[in-house]
Structure 1
Amino acid sequence: MDAVPMTNQKKAHVLFVPYPAQSHVKCMLKLAKLLHHKGFKITFINTQSNHKRLLKSGGTSFLAEASDFQFRTVPDGLPAGTDDDIEYTQPIEELWSYLGTNFHDFFLDLVSELETRVTCIICDGFMTYTNMINAADMFKVPIILFWTMAACGFMGFYQVKVLMEKGLVPVEDENDLIDGYLNMEINWIPGMEGICYRDLPEFTRYTKPNDPSFNFLMETAQAADNVSHMIIHTFDDLESRLVEEIKSLFPNVYTVGPLQLLLNQITKETKKSNFNGYSLWKEEPECIQWLQSKEPNSVVYVNFGSLTIMSLEELLEFGWGLVNSNHYFLWIIRADMVDGEPVVLPQDLQEMISKKGFLANWCSQEEVLNHPSVGGFLTHGGWGSIIESLSAGVPMICWPVSGDQQTNCRQMCKEWEVGIQIGKNVKRDEVQKLVSVLLDGEQGNRLRNKARDWKKLAESATGSYGTSALDVEKLANQIMKL
Structure 2
Amino acid sequence: MGSIRTSEKPHAVCVPYPAQGHINPMLKVAKLLHHKGFHITFVNTEYNHRRLLKSRGPHSLDGLPDFRYQTIPDGLPPTDTDVTQDIPALCQSTTKTCLPHFRELLNKLNDTVLSTGPPVTCIVSDGCMSFTVEAAEEIGVPEVLFWTHSACGILDASYLTNGYLETTIDWIPGMENVRFKDLPSFIRTTEPNDQMVNFVIAETKRGLKASAIIINTFDAFEKPVLDFLSSSLLPPIYTVGPLHLMANQISEERLKSMHSNLWKEESQCIDWLDSKKSNSVLYVNFGSITVMTPKQLVEFAWGLANSGYDFLWIVRPDLVVGESAMLPPEFVMETEGRGMLASWCSQEQILKHTAIAGFLTHSGWNSTMESVCGGVPVICWPFFAEQPTNCWYSCGEWGIGMEIDTNVRREEVERQVRELMEGEKGKKMKSKAMEWKEKAGEAAGPGGSSFLATDESNAHPTYKRNLLELEETEYTDVFGRARWPGAPQRVLKTPFFAQLTTLPIDENETNQPIIGHSTIHDMEGYCFQIVLKLYVDNFRSVLHQHCQLRIQLIDVHVQQEKDIRRLAGTVLNAGNG
Instruction: Output the TM-score relative to the length of structure 2.
Output: 0.75
Aligned residues: 456
In the alignment, the residues of structure 2 paired with residue 156 and residue 342 of structure 1 have an alpha-carbon distance, to the nearest angstrom, of: 35
115, 119, 134: which one aligns with 2:121: 119
User: What is the aligned counterpart of 2:415 among 400, 420, 433?
Assistant: 433
1:254 to 238, 241, 259: 238
After TM superposition, give the deviation of residue 8 of structure 1 in Å. 2.0
Is the deviation greater in 193-202 or in 281-290? 193-202
How far the C-alpha of 1:78 sits from its partner, in A, is: 5.4
Q: Which amino acid aligns with 2:66?
A: D
Q: Are 1:460 and 2:442 matched, yes or no?
A: yes
Counterpart-to-counterpart distance in 1, 2:200 and 2:63: 40
User: CA separation in 1, counterparts of 2:201 and 2:93?
Assistant: 19
1:107 aligns with 2:109: no
C-alpha deviation, 1:314, in angstroms: 0.3
Query: Once the 2 structures are TM-superposed, how far is the Cα of residue 133 of structure 1 from its aligned partner?
Result: 2.0
Residue identity opposite 2:138 in structure 1: M
Correspondences of 1:34-53 after superposition (within 5 Å): 34-53=32-51
Q: TM-score, normalised by structure 1?
A: 0.89
Name the counterpart of 1:234. 217
Please point out which of 283, 286, 303 is paired with 1:321. Answer: 303
Structure 2 counterparts to residues 341-352 of structure 1, below 5 A:
341-352=323-334
The structure with the larger Rg is 2
Q: Distance in 2 between matches of 1:76 and 1:188?
A: 35
2-side partners of 1:442 and 1:59: how far apart?
46
Report the alpha carbon displacement of residue 127 of structure 1 after superposing the two structures with TM: 1.2
2:56 is matched with: 58
Whole-Å separation in 1 of the counterparts to 2:185 and 2:452: 35
Structure 1 residues 59 and 437 mapped into 2: Cα distance closer, same or farther (>3 Å)? farther
Aligned to 2:564: none
2:153 corresponds to 1:153 = yes
Would you say 1:95 and 2:90 are equivalent positions? Answer: yes
| Residue from 429, 442, 448 that aligns with 1:447 | 429
Identity of aligned residues (%): 44
1:337 is aligned, of 319, 331, 339, to 319
Secondary structure of the residue aligned to 1:39 is coil
Secondary structure at 1:154 match in 2: helix
Residue 224 of structure 2 aligns to a residue in which SS? helix
Alignment of 1:306-385 (within 5 A): 306-385=288-367
| Matches of 1:275 and 1:156, distance apart in 2 | 37
Q: Deviations over 1:312-351 (max 9, x none)?
A: 0000000000000000000000001100421222221221
Which one has the bigger helix percentage?
A: 1
Q: 1:121 aligns to what SS in structure 2?
A: strand
User: How many Å separate the matches in 2 of 1:367 and 1:273?
Assistant: 17
**Aligned-partner residue type, residue 137 of structure 2:** D
Superposed displacement of residue 212, structure 1:
1.9
* 1:204 pairs with 2:187: yes
Alignment partners' CA distance in 2, 1:275 and 1:7: 23
Q: CA deviation at 1:251?
A: 4.4
* Residue in 2 that maps onto 1:189: 173
Q: How far off is 1:472 after superposition?
A: 6.5
Distance of aligned partners of 1:59 and 1:92 in 2 relative to their CA distance in 1, 3 Å threshold: farther
- How big is the shift at 1:240? 1.4
Q: How many Å separate the matches in 2 of 1:59 and 1:211?
A: 40
Q: What is the rounded CA distance, in whole Å, between the counterparts of 2:295 and 2:242 in structure 1?
A: 35
Contact 2:13/2:123, CA 8 A, preserved across alignment: yes
Which amino acid is the alignment partner of residue 140 of structure 1?
G
Pairwise CA distance, 1:184? 3.4
* Structure 1 residues 65 and 197: alpha-carbon distance in aligned structure 2, compared to 1, 3 A threshold: closer
**Match status 1:12 vs 2:10:** yes
**8 Å CA contact 1:275, 1:367 repeated in 2:** no
User: Do structure 1's residue 244 and structure 2's residue 227 form an aligned pair?
Assistant: yes
Distance 1:65 1:310, change over 3 A: closer
Q: Which residue, 301, 304, 312 being the options, matches 2:286? A: 304
Partner of 2:247: 263
**Structure 2, unaligned runs of 5 or more:** 110-114, 460-475, 483-488, 490-577
Deviation at 1:226, TM superposition (A): 2.4
- Matches of 1:63 and 1:355, distance apart in 2: 38
Check whether the contact 2:61–2:69 (CA below 8 A) recurs between aligned residues: no
Q: Do 2:164 and 2:180's aligned partners in 1 also have CA atoms closer than 8 Å?
A: no
Aligned to 1:292: 274
Gap regions ≥5 residues in structure 1: 161-168, 172-176
State the shift of 1:358 in Å: 0.4
Whole-angstrom CA distance in 1 between matches of 2:99 and 2:235: 27
Distance apart, 1:471 and its partner CA:
3.7
> How much does 1:60 deviate?
9.2
Q: Secondary structure at the match of 1:217?
A: helix
Quick one: distance in 2 between partners of 1:327 and 1:135? 53
What is the alpha-carbon distance in structure 2 between the residues aligned to residue 299 and residue 154 of structure 1?
Answer: 33
The Cα of 1:469 is off from its aligned counterpart by 2.5
Moved more, 52-61 or 6-15: 52-61
Distance 1:460 1:352 in 2: 43
Aligned-CA RMSD value? 2.4
Give, in whole Å, the separation in 1 of the partners of 2:194 and 2:200: 10
Question: In the TM superposition, what whole-angstrom CA distance separates every residue of 1:127-153 from its partner, at most 9, and x where no partner exists?
Answer: 12xx32222222222211110111111
Q: Which has the higher contact order (CA 8 A, sep 6+)?
A: 1
Question: Match of 1:163?
Answer: none
